Amino acid sequence: MSAPYLKQLQWGIMERLRVVGGARLAGTVRVSGAKNSALKLMAATLLAPGKSTITNLPEIADVEYMAELLTRLGCSVEVNHQSSQVVIDVPQKLGHRADYDMVRKMRASINVLGPLIARELIAEVALPGGDAIGSRGLDFHINGLTEMGAQVTSEHGFVIAKASNGLTGAHITLEFPSVGATENIMTAATLANGKTVIDNAAREPDVVDLGEFLIAMGAKISGLGSHTIIIEGVKKLTPTNHATLADRIVSGTWAFAAAMTKGDITIENGRADHLELPLDKLVEAGAVVTTTKNGFRVKMDKRPTAVDVATLPYPGFPTDLQPMVITLNSIADGTSIVTENVFEGRFMFVNELLRLGAKIQVDGHHAAITGINQLSAAPVAATDIRAGAGLVLAALVSDGVTIIEDAFHIDRGYPDFPTQLQSLGADVTRI
């Protein structure tokens, strides 16, 4: 990521995107490492003093934010976007305080909580910020660490966790399969005394990727990808090298882009097995999906058929692809219902789609959508990463020119999105 761009982020100079509607996207794109995996891997390096290397790193703003946060905790961090990797040298003694000015920029900052309490037996982490997609409390994180013997309080905007006598393994049942809580409990448990069992654990590929990274560091973990994860605590972990999992949400975004624009996109490095339900929905909508040697291909020759969707934790339909399926349904043939079961704030995105002429009615956590032939260009604003990407796709199926404000959200999750869109035939520029 270029220095001028990072300065824009630091100074608050936010770019807009200008999108000309009517393009048919065709060609090949390559998907890099997953944002939701890379950031958690970076945080987990805190568990082992010495140099760990993470490759297949996405070139996104949040990687830079996490690098700065780790630097403030005492690490030496070298991000090399030329080779798509980061080398993190973790000291024997870490800082234990993550201040608000960093944590407010991204939700993934909370993932330093587990490693810090495991290593230093104390952690002070500001309540996180990130995307405005609804309440995402830390109760599951806090309850899990408390069951392992930590004393956790909330003071002056910080979560303060202490474990003066160390952490002890426990049997923890999550009320909801929270990804963040599963990850924080799992990382903390790697150095705890005894066995920890997490029931109703998150099953996302990103959680599995983190677990495999921890195993490479010397952790004893079983049950990854299932509802029950078992961690046997060890005395210490050692640094390692690891390649980040391919980003299934970016892959899914390109898949929906092909279907919406009656296009033909081959997604290299994409994992179709991580997107079974979304791809099934695209087939239901009329797309042809085929696997390739290095990924998969999505082709659409007609107007999509409307599809009903309900978001659920993995392996259900991802909440992060909800804006994309709503956008597809807004120009599809027929009516549909999209139900949001994960983040109540996701429907903030609908207000911007309405500005583009979409016919959507929201009632609680349901959105009823009546498809129209084409959306109408208008100024809109991104409210989060996925909403921003969804608005770009909506602009591509609108008449005329759409200006998208607050494009910095998109840059937090999609490496150089405009350039990749241009390579597929879209007229998209930063202004």
Q: How far apart are CA 289 and CA 282, in angstroms?
A: 8
Q: Which helix (H) or strand (E) holds 26?
A: strand 26-30
CB atoms within 10 A of CB 412: 22
Catalytic-residue membership of 131: yes
Residue 22 sits at the vertex; the CA angle it makes with 20 and 24, to the nearest 5 degrees, is 115
Q: How far apart are CA 21 and CA 36, in angstroms?
A: 30
How many residues make up the chain in this entry? 431
CB atoms within 10 A of CB 161: 27
**Closest by CA position to 255, among listed 266, 241, 247:** 266
Partners of residue 54 on adjacent β-strands: 86, 242
- The DSSP result for 175-242, as a single string, is SS--HHHHHHHHHHHTTSBSEEEEET----HHHHHHHHHHHHTT-EEE-TTSSEEEEE--S-----EE
Classify burial at 249, counting beta carbons within 10 Å of its beta carbon; exposed 0-12, middle 13-18, buried 19 or more: buried
Paired sense of beta strands 195-199 and 171-173, if any: parallel
Q: How far apart are CA 270 and CA 213, in angstroms?
A: 20
Burial 287-297 (b: 16+ CB within 10 A, else e): bebeeeeebbb
Classify burial at 51, counting beta carbons within 10 Å of its beta carbon; exposed 0-12, middle 13-18, buried 19 or more: middle
Q: How far apart are CA 388 and CA 17, in angstroms?
A: 10
Q: How far apart are CA 206 and CA 263, in angstroms?
A: 29
Partners of residue 50 on adjacent β-strands: 90
Check: CB of residue 260 under 8 Å from CB of residue 273.
no
**Closest by CA position to 207, among listed 358, 352, 324, 34:** 34
Of the candidates 131, 206, 247, 411, the residue annotated as catalytic is: 131
- Whether cis (ω within 30° of 0) applies to the bond prior to 379 is no
Check: CB of residue 411 under 8 Å from CB of residue 14.
no
Residues identified as active-site: 131
